[in-house]
Structure 1
Amino acid sequence: MRTTLLVALAISVAACGPTSPADAFRADPEAIQRGKSLFVGTCAGYCHTTVPSDRDAPYLFDRVWQHGGTDQEIFDTIADGVPGTTMIPFKGKLPQGDDDIWRLVAYITTAADD
């Protein structure tokens, strides 16, 4: 009986699929605020904007993703940059490392235009 319950639990957990590290940050208003502050101070301070504009950098809140729109793809784009463009890699450049990149992902995806 115990083995059956453990197998059923394992199948249930596996069926839920993987979760994104951004999920925990999306559930935390302080993390969203930090993501917003990082975006305004780092991303919008140089390239991207919080409203559509004529800048070369894409507007990120319209849910039109040029390099993939999953949380992981957005994270990778921020972390690794985009070769051949002005999008530089931010891996290791933010004060709280990968967590700050995940906060950016959480902010960008929750603040997206509806």
Structure 2
Amino acid sequence: MREGVQRKRVEAGERYDVFHTDCPARDMVDHVTSRWGVWVLISLRSNNLRFYELRESIQGISEKMLSQTLRALVEDGLIWRKVEPTTPPQVTYGLTEFGRDVGEPLTELFDRITRRLSPRSAG
């Protein structure tokens, strides 16, 4: 029988083993590279956005999936969440410094792909 999982504490300068199922960094990688995580990070690269603005900017995402994705990315420390005590509450999201650092290669990938695609035909 398996006892509780013990996570090895990583010393400064050591790297996590993201290929191990118990690695805490693995969850973060999963959140960033999830279907919607990438789009949230890219959407927030230029501006802080309110919930409805994010929903509008990411076509095809449901409110439920956006909420779940935002919650995970906030818990990971990649985005921040600010609630204004209004009625209804205004919730704004933005990238943390860590989120900008992680999102930069995603933005570069997005930009490379969109530059290389041929323009869609008007017909």
Tell me if TM exceeds 0.5: no
Normalised to the residue count of structure 2, the TM-score between the two structures is 0.24
Q: Higher RCO, 1 or 2 (CA under 8 Å, sep at least 6)?
A: 1
Normalised to the residue count of structure 1, the TM-score between the two structures is 0.26
Higher strand share: 2
Higher helix share: 1
